[in-house]
Amino acid sequence: MMNTPTIWINAGETSGDLHGQLLVQALREQCPDARFLGMAGPAMRAEGVEAKLETEHLSVMGITEVLVQLPKILRLLHTLKINLMETRPDVVVVIDAPDFHFRVARTARNLGIPVIYYISPKLWAWRAGRTRFISRHVDRLISILPFEVDFYARHGMHVDYVGHPLLDSVRRPEILAVADQPRRVGILPGSREREIAALLPVFSRAADLLATSCPDLEFVLPVAPGMDPQLIARFWTARQPIALTDSDTRYATMRSCRAIMAASGTATLETALLGVPTVVAYKFSRLTYALGRALVRVPFISLPNLILGTEVFPEFLQQEATPWAIAARLAQWIPDSRSRTDVLTRLASLPGLLGGGHAARRAARIILSTLGEAKCPVI
């Protein structure tokens, strides 16, 4: 008789929570009796993950932002360690968010629990020396970006490349069948309070500017899981009204947009896979940005540009993220322009570079293989 495996999954931010939801679906498909618990957000909780901690209690980004939240982070790590000691899961799966999850990996490894890192940390951008930590504390490293295989190989490490899981959730036939509405513009200001406070007023002013040159526009904002609609009302300062749509229909809403203005993050890859021209913006704290300029070694901040190797989506960071710059680029994409056609043509090659689908299923097979036949046969 096989034992029922216990799988701990740790998501440190909204995007990790969404990836965790897809992973749990794939794991349950291959091992129906598995028990899932861990640090979960709304998406993973909806999938039946027993939340010992909630992702929303972390969800910070940037060096100075992490320092401000350090006491809370340390309390979370202490609570997490106690839960791991009490539950003794068969495996711990951490998803992205390296600054937090490196500590989780060390804790689990010290307790003798195997660790799998799903969505390998972006060490190719900066702090490449941390590959040594992964070698010591992580049993399997699963990558969703094609260029990471060569990066880790140069550091003497094997990585399991499974493709990108967003292909399965974003590029579904019923989503791709949604036609764009020629006067609809999407607003994606991020899911963290700091992101919304920094970017939504800029996007609001850009909406007003855009409306002067392109009248009768409709502005929509798909509410991300865990996002507080009151924050939107507080920071949307435009004269133009904005329609909030449910997170469950966010991909259909995004697909229906003629163009989008978005915070840098997973959302930009979602819009790219949906074939929607997008302006990317972000504002860091001054210290985080200064350190980033000194340490980060990549030419772009958004994943579509990094994967395609060229600036398909224009990027505006810090003081360059102005309403005028954003509105000017968006205005080029409302009509059937050459600029719009060029963006769509370049985006068409993106799905083929990301593994062709079923990434979560392949990742689940790798995770279950660490448990052995005595726990759950790999189907």
pLDDT tens column, 30-75: 999 999 999 999 999 999 999 999 988 775 444 445 555 678 888 8
Same domain? 186 vs 329:
yes
DSSP 56: G
Helices and strands, counts by H and E, the chain: 19, 13
Domain annotation covers residue 227: yes
Same domain? 190 vs 296:
yes
Please list the ranges in the chain whose pLDDT falls under 70: 1-2, 59-69, 124-128, 226, 285-298, 373-374, 377-379
| pLDDT score for 61 | 47
Same domain? 212 vs 347:
yes
Query: Which residues lie closer than 8 Å to 378 by C-beta, 6 or more apart?
Result: 30, 365, 368, 369
User: What domain count does the chain have?
Assistant: 2
CA distances for 166 relative to 21, 48, 212, 290, 313, angstroms? 11, 20, 35, 31, 18
Same domain? 190 vs 81:
no
| pLDDT score for 123 | 73
Q: Which domain holds residue 220?
A: 173-353
| pLDDT score for 17 | 92
**98-110 helix and 70-87 helix, angle to the nearest 10 degrees:** 30
Same domain? 107 vs 188:
no
DSSP result, 111-124: TT--EEEES---TT
Same domain? 182 vs 283:
yes
CATH number for the domain that contains residue 18: 3.40.50.2000
pLDDT tens column, 97-155: 888 899 999 999 999 999 999 998 877 666 667 888 888 999 999 999 988 888 888 88
Same domain? 197 vs 346:
yes
Same domain? 84 vs 218:
no
Query: Which residues lie closer than 8 Å to 336 by C-beta, 6 or more apart?
Result: none
- To the question of pTM greater than 0.85 for the whole model, the response is no
| pLDDT score for 62 | 46
Same domain? 200 vs 234:
yes
